[in-house]
Amino acid sequence: MSLRKENAVQNWHNVVIGIPTYRRPRQLRWLLESLARQVPQGARVVVADNDCDPAVEELVATAADELAMSVEYIMVPERGISQVRNALIAAATERVPDWEWIVQYDDDGTVADGALCSLVEGAEQLDADAVAGMVVPIPEVASSPFLRSYLPDCQEQPTGLVEMLSGGQNIALSRGLIERMGSPWFTPRFGLVGGEDYDFFLRAKQHGARLAWISEAVVYEGIPAQRCSARAVLRRTFLENTGKTAIDRNALGTKQMLSSLADDAASAPRNVAAAVVRRDPDRLRACVLQVVGLGGRVLGLTGYKARRYSTPAPESVVGECLQGTGS
């Protein structure tokens, strides 16, 4: 389906836009600039800084003045992406007691023109509890073929209800869902290991959440050079799947989690054989990623916790490229 043209949002004063940030000041500025072109009158923007850097607080104040938009800065001393996302929801309730939607954009993205309105309007038109839009990756450098195999398929899927969402970038969550789930909304123990977004949506489904995809809402997300190599992609695949085991066990139970793992393990040899027979290098790389991911999930069975976010996030110059995307 496609969205109706009329504005479905009756009161943007009840919409809060939350931005988690950590040591990406340039990218944060580019994100705010992309939002300034489209934030409707009355919507509130809150930036939550997990580094508590006075320079970032000054950056936010300057951007609010220069871009003529309502932006507030808050510090989140406890390290972890779950902690920051939870702080944004708490800040929304404190500052806008009657808020109805909280939108979250990560600080390494820029929002395509019209995407914010499409995201919230689509959520209301579909009577959804949570929605997500497309995230288009923009590699900073010529990337490994493994990165192309790793990245999610960015082919446009139709706007409408879906069975599952997983990412924390370019999402909108309803007040009703947040109240049904209760605090802490994003599980704190996944704050440094990652997967808090996948865990959130698994639990949201257990609370009867109505999930939807909004194809008209697009965010461009830069991928820094150090994440573009084959080694980096394989490492990230391994660590993501290590954390996924704990999340699946927590949400689905050990029996269902092991059944899913067994099914994936059984399919891996067939997929490898098919790739070799067809001499399909893209499919073979996908098989390598599948096997590496399985290894990560097996390690996760031991209780190993990979701290994906325990090191500083690097700066990137991707935003300079994004200036030419029309976002």
- Structural domain boundaries of the chain? 12-224+313-322, 230-300
Label residue 309 by pLDDT band (50, 70, 90): low
3-state SS track over the chain: CCCCCCCCCCCHHHEEEEEEECCCHHHHHHHHHHHHCCCCCCCEEEEEECCCCHHHHHHHHHHHHHHCCCEEEEECCCCCHHHHHHHHHHHHHHHCCCCCEEEECCCCEEECCCHHHHHHHHHHHCCCCEEEEEEEEEECCCCCHHHHHHCCCCCCCCCEEECCCCCCCCEEEEHHHHHHHCCCCCCHHHCCCCCHHHHHHHHHHHCCCCEEEEEEEEEEEEECHHHCCHHHHHHHHHHHHHHHHHHHHHHHCHHHHHHHHHHHHHHHHHHHHHHHHHCCHHHHHHHHHHHHHHHHHHHHCCCCCCCCCCCCCCCCCHHHHHCCCCC
Closest CA to 190 of 298, 303, 103, 308: 308
Closest CA to 74 of 37, 32, 42, 46: 46
The pTM (predicted TM-score) of the whole model is: 0.87
Tell me which fold the domain 12-224+313-322 belongs to.
Spore Coat Polysaccharide Biosynthesis Protein SpsA; Chain A (3.90.550)
Convert the pLDDT of each residue in 250-304 to its tens digit.
777 888 888 989 999 999 999 999 999 999 999 999 999 999 999 999 998 888 7
pLDDT exceeds cutoff 50 at 321 = no
Convert the pLDDT of each residue in 137-193 to its tens digit.
999 887 788 888 888 755 568 999 999 998 999 999 999 999 999 999 999 999 998
CA distance 83 to 76: 7
Task: Give yes or no for a contact between 38 and 117, defined as CB atoms under 8 angstroms apart.
Answer: yes
**pLDDT recorded at residue 1:** 66
pLDDT exceeds cutoff 60 at 94 = yes
CA distance 91 to 85: 10
